[in-house]
Amino acid sequence: MMAAEKHTADFGELRENEPMSRHTSWRAGGPADLFFRPASVESLSQFLAELDPATAIFWHGVGSNLLVRDGGIRGVVISASKILRNIERVEPYQVKAGSGVPCTQLARHCLRWGIGPSEFFAGIPGTVGGALAMNAGAHGGETWERVESVRTIDRHGEIHERAPAEYTVGYRSVTGPSDEWFIEGTFGFEPDVTASRENLDAMLERRKTTQPLGLPSCGSVFRNPQGDHAARLIETAGLKGHRIGGAEVSGKHANFIINHDNATATDIEALIEHVRHCVQQEHGVELMHEVRIVGEVAR
């Protein structure tokens, strides 16, 4: 593993035993052995090229769809979202965006350029990188419906150009070349579709009125089962407001679990599993996680 004292303005910031509660929207989670925030793509490539091949790597965006267990993450967490913030219109109906660009910002730029359908990106709470990694979607649109190409970086620091055909994409799932992480996506839009400010504003207002924004959460915890909604199943199972420790099923949107009172990751995961069990018992439906759960259980 690389020595943690390598820490310069040109290279980036490397910390030992960094609490992941500082880097997740749930505000919970144990420490990462190492936490690296590169200063540039070049320093990221250098870091990866020099990293011990045996060291595990976890790629971190903004932590909006992530639960890190209280035992933390072994190896190194790489947080490169702050350097991958480029966004440009490269063709009349084509936009290139770095993985660190918030999806709401992508939606607003497309609105300004008058290209669509793009408003659905405003309903995705994370970044372009996270949306690419899980085929995030909202309001009937999905990320990979718009992808024309991606750029990735591998664990040796080499950058690759990839086509959509190199990935298997499903509902909230993407599988592709191993040990590579998205650093940029190129998105194509339709010549005969104009982005609508009214639609975008309506989507943002809907989020505001139906979701517990401003409270620590990860967005939707479970995928919607085919032909139904996870929130409906959870609500009709009588779980709104149910608490374990400091974690609570939101009274505003049943598919949200909020950190109501200094919840631990253990509290949150226990509540997730309780909800899954109750919905299975009540409705005979097995809910699948949309949130990513990683790390080790605290000993």
Q: Which are the catalytic amino acids?
A: 172, 220, 290
User: How many distinct helices (H) and strands (E) make up the chain?
Assistant: 6, 18
SS3 99: coil
Please check whether residue 168 is in contact with residue 175, taking contact to mean a CB–CB distance below 8 angstroms. yes
The token pair that represents 289 in the structure block: 């996680």
DSSP single-letter state for residue 177? S
Instruction: Find tokens 């995705």 and name the residue.
Output: 124
Cα–Cα dist 66/133, whole Å: 12
DSSP single-letter state for residue 225? P
Instruction: Using alpha carbons, select from 266, 278, 255 the residue that is nearest to residue 67.
Output: 266
Please check whether residue 180 is in contact with residue 150, taking contact to mean a CB–CB distance below 8 angstroms. no
Q: Is the peptide bond before 117 cis (omega within 30 degrees of 0)?
A: yes
